[in-house]
Amino acid sequence: MKNSAFIFLNATLVCFLCASAQTSPKNQASERHEVTVAVKLVHVYVSDNRGNPLKDLDRSEFELYDNGKAQPIIHFEKHALSLSPEKPEGQMPGSSTGMPSLFGRRFFLVFDFAFNTYTGVLKSKEAALHFLKTQLAPDDEVGVLSYSVNKGLVLHEYLTKDYELIRRLIESFGASMTLGRAESIESQYWREMKKQAEAEGAGELANAFQHVIEHDRGSYRNQVSVLASRLKELAKALRYISGQKHIIFFSGGVANFILYGLTSRSITGELESLPELGHHESGRGDSALRGQYENLCKELAASNSSVYAINTAGKGSAHFTSPDMLGDYSLKQLARLSGGSYYDNISNYKAILEDIQKRTGYYYVLGYTVEDRWDGKHHKIQVKTKRKGCQVTAQSGYYNPKPFPEWTEMEKMLQLLDLALSEAHHLQEPIHFRMEALPVSVSQETGCVLLAQLNNDNRQPVLNQKAEIVALIFDDKTNPVVLKRQEVNPGALQRENIIYSAAFWLPPGQYNCRLVIRNLITGKGAAASADVVIPRPDDRKIRIDAPLLLKSEKNTRYLESDKTAFPLFSVYPFDSSQFSPVIGELEHGIPEIAAVIRLSSSGLPSSEIEILASLVNLDEGEKIDIPVKILSQFQSSDTEIYSVGLAFPGVSSGNYSLHFFVVNRKNLDRYHATRSLLVKSPMRQAAR
Q: Is 288 part of a structural domain of the chain?
A: no
- Distances 171 to 71, 126, 128, 176, 334 between C-alpha atoms, Å: 46, 9, 10, 10, 26
Q: Is 624 part of a structural domain of the chain?
A: yes
Strands 654-664 and 628-636: unpaired
State the pTM of this model. Answer: 0.75
Residue 582 is given by DSSP the state: -
pLDDT of 495? 63
Other CB atoms within a 10 A radius of the CB of residue 231 amount to 25
Q: Is 244 helix (H, G, I), strand (E, B) or coil?
A: coil
pLDDT of 514? 94
| Amino acid type, 214 | E
Other CB atoms within a 10 A radius of the CB of residue 114 amount to 20
Q: Is 105 part of a structural domain of the chain?
A: no
58, 392 contact by CB (below 8 A)? no
pLDDT of 20? 33
Mean pLDDT (10-residue bins), the chain, 688 residues? 31 29 36 65 85 89 95 90 50 42 80 87 94 90 89 89 92 64 63 69 48 45 86 88 90 82 46 44 65 86 90 63 72 87 93 91 89 80 91 80 85 88 81 92 88 80 87 89 88 73 94 93 91 79 84 87 88 91 85 89 70 89 89 83 87 87 80 85 50
Q: Is 218 helix (H, G, I), strand (E, B) or coil?
A: coil
- DSSP letters along 598-663, please? EEE-----GGGEEEEEEEEETTT--EEEE-EEEEEEEEETTEEEEEEEEE-TTPPSEEEEEEEEEE
Give residues with Cβ within 8 angstroms of 268, minimum separation 6: none
| Amino acid type, 579 | F
Q: Is 607 part of a structural domain of the chain?
A: yes
The radius of gyration of the chain's CA atoms, rounded to the nearest angstrom, is 29
Helix axes 287-302, 220-238, angle to 10 degrees: 20
Which candidate, 438, 553, 554, 584, places its Cα nearest to that of 502?
438
458, 476 contact by CB (below 8 A)? no
Other CB atoms within a 10 A radius of the CB of residue 43 amount to 23
pLDDT of 144? 95
pLDDT of 687? 43
- DSSP letters along 400-425, please? ----GGGS-HHHHHHHHHHHHH-SS-
Compute the distance between CA of residue 289 and CA of residue 259 in angstroms, rounded to an integer. 6
Compute the distance between CA of residue 100 and CA of residue 433 in angstroms, rounded to an integer. 20
Q: Is 660 part of a structural domain of the chain?
A: yes
Q: Is 510 part of a structural domain of the chain?
A: yes
Compute the distance between CA of residue 453 and CA of residue 684 in angstroms, rounded to an integer. 18
- Distances 635 to 79, 610, 639, 642, 645 between C-alpha atoms, Å: 64, 17, 6, 9, 19
Q: Is 321 part of a structural domain of the chain?
A: no
Residue 80 backbone phi and psi in degrees, to 5: -125, 115
Strands 525-534 and 431-432: parallel
Dihedral Cα 643, 685, 495, 596, nearest 10 deg = -10
CATH code, domain with 617: 2.60.40.10
Which candidate, 279, 346, 335, places its Cα nearest to that of 311?
346
First-to-last alpha carbon distance for the chain, in angstroms, is: 40
Domain count for the chain = 1
Compute the distance between CA of residue 272 and CA of residue 269 in angstroms, rounded to an integer. 9
Q: Is 111 part of a structural domain of the chain?
A: no
Which candidate, 471, 461, 474, 465, places its Cα nearest to that of 525?
461
Compute the distance between CA of residue 625 and CA of residue 623 in angstroms, rounded to an integer. 7
pLDDT of 172? 86
Q: Which domain holds residue 597?
A: 430-687
**Rounded to the nearest 5 degrees, what angle is found at the Cα of 16, between the Cα atoms of 10 and 19?**
165
pLDDT of 264? 47
